[in-house]
Amino acid sequence: MEMIFRQLNPHACRTYLLGSEGSKEVIIIDPVLEHLNDYLKLLETEKLQLAYVIDTHTHADHISGAAALKDHTGCDYLMYKGAPACCVTSHVKEGFIYLVKGIPIKVMYTPGHTKDSLSLIFQDRILTGDVLFLEDGGAGRDDLPGGDPGEHWDSLQRILGLPDHLIVYPAHEYRNRQASSLAVQKLKNPHLKPATREDYIRYVEDLKFGPADWMKEVLKANYACARNPKAVWIPVDVPACEVKGTMTCSVNDQKVSSISPDEVKGRLDAGQEQILLDVRELDELEGELGHLPEIRHIPIDSLSSRISDLEVDIDKDIITICRSGGRAHTAAQILMQAGFSKVYVLAGGMTAWNKAGYLVTNKV
Ligand SMILES: [Fe+2]
Centroid of ligand 1 to alpha carbon of 130 (angstroms): 5
Centroid of ligand 1 to alpha carbon of 61 (angstroms): 7
User: Which domains does the chain possess?
Assistant: 3-223 (3.60.15.10), 250-355 (3.40.250.10)
Centroid of ligand 1 to alpha carbon of 110 (angstroms): 12
Centroid of ligand 1 to alpha carbon of 27 (angstroms): 19
pLDDT tens digits for range 30-40 = 999 999 999 99
Centroid of ligand 1 to alpha carbon of 237 (angstroms): 16
Centroid of ligand 1 to alpha carbon of 235 (angstroms): 15
How far apart are the C-alpha atoms of 173 and 199, rounded to whole Å? 25
Centroid of ligand 1 to alpha carbon of 345 (angstroms): 27
Instruction: Please list the helix, strand and coil fractions of the chain in percent, rounded to the nearest 5, in that order.
Output: 30, 25, 45
Centroid of ligand 1 to alpha carbon of 44 (angstroms): 29
Give this prediction's pTM. Answer: 0.70
Centroid of ligand 1 to alpha carbon of 222 (angstroms): 12
Query: Amino acid letter at 146?
Result: G
pLDDT tens digits for range 167-186 = 999 999 887 788 999 999 99
pLDDT at 261: 94
- Checking if the pLDDT of 2 tops 90, the result is no
Centroid of ligand 1 to alpha carbon of 136 (angstroms): 17
pLDDT tens digits for range 291-336 = 998 999 998 767 877 888 888 888 899 999 988 877 787 788 778 8
Centroid of ligand 1 to alpha carbon of 272 (angstroms): 43
pLDDT at 250: 38
* Whole-number CA gyration radius for the chain: 21
Centroid of ligand 1 to alpha carbon of 3 (angstroms): 27
CA angle 358, 290, 264 (to 5 degrees): 40
Centroid of ligand 1 to alpha carbon of 295 (angstroms): 34
Residue burial 313-335, b: 16+ Cβ < 10 Å; e: rest: beeebbbbbbbbbbbbbbbbbbb
pLDDT tens digits for range 13-56 = 999 999 988 889 999 999 999 999 999 999 999 999 999 999 99
